[in-house]
Amino acid sequence: MLADLRPNAKMLAELESVFGRAPAIERSAGLVTRAWREHQVLRRGRIVANGELADVDDLRLRRRLERRHARLLARHGMDHLDISEVRSRARPVTQAVSRSLYEDGAAGVRFRSNLDNEPCFALFEGRARIAAERAGRATLVELTADQPLLRAVCDELGLRIEE
């Protein structure tokens, strides 16, 4: 969710074309506000799945999906269902692949982030869920300005935290 707060190149270019180089405006872009943090929490959990999580990093799986969706891939100018294509923003392709995995009985999909290559999961409703890591209620961690995990991610993404 924090990655969405990064200022994008188009916005920065438009700001510069309107205001010129304006350090004060540039500093306001990419700000994690107090209001945003008040509506978010951090909680440890584990995936409970009724079925397998399909791993789209698996080349054999991608080759099977490539054959199954050859016409769709061709329509979108894709020669192969390489990992870069799986991670692309071509939603008709990613949606078709996800639908196929769902129809095949998968509980969700494991993939790597476009941002930092770390593992990510998309869980299929009714087949997988996030459960508290320990029995009982999980401890919620407020995202305060001094929260170390929040600071680490913001530093990595080039975001500033409003105090």
Instruction: Name the residue type at position 95.
Output: Q
Both tokens of residue 160? 């500033």
How does residue 69 score in pLDDT terms, banded at 50, 70 and 90?
very high
158 pLDDT above the threshold of 90: no
Give dist(CA 90, CA 85) in Å, integer. 8
**Higher pLDDT among residues 99 and 89, named by residue:** 99
Sheet holding 119-123, edge to edge: 53-55, 108-112, 119-123
pLDDT at position 135 is 61
Per-residue pLDDT reduced to its tens digit, 75-98: 999 999 998 888 877 789 989 999
Q: Domain spans of the chain?
A: 2-44+139-161, 47-132
For 97, phi then psi, to 5°, come to -65, -45
Global pTM value: 0.70
Give the strand pairing for 119-123 and 108-112. Answer: antiparallel
Both tokens of residue 106? 């998968």
According to DSSP, the residues that pair with 45 across neighbouring strands are 132
Residue position matching structure tokens 């961690």 = 141
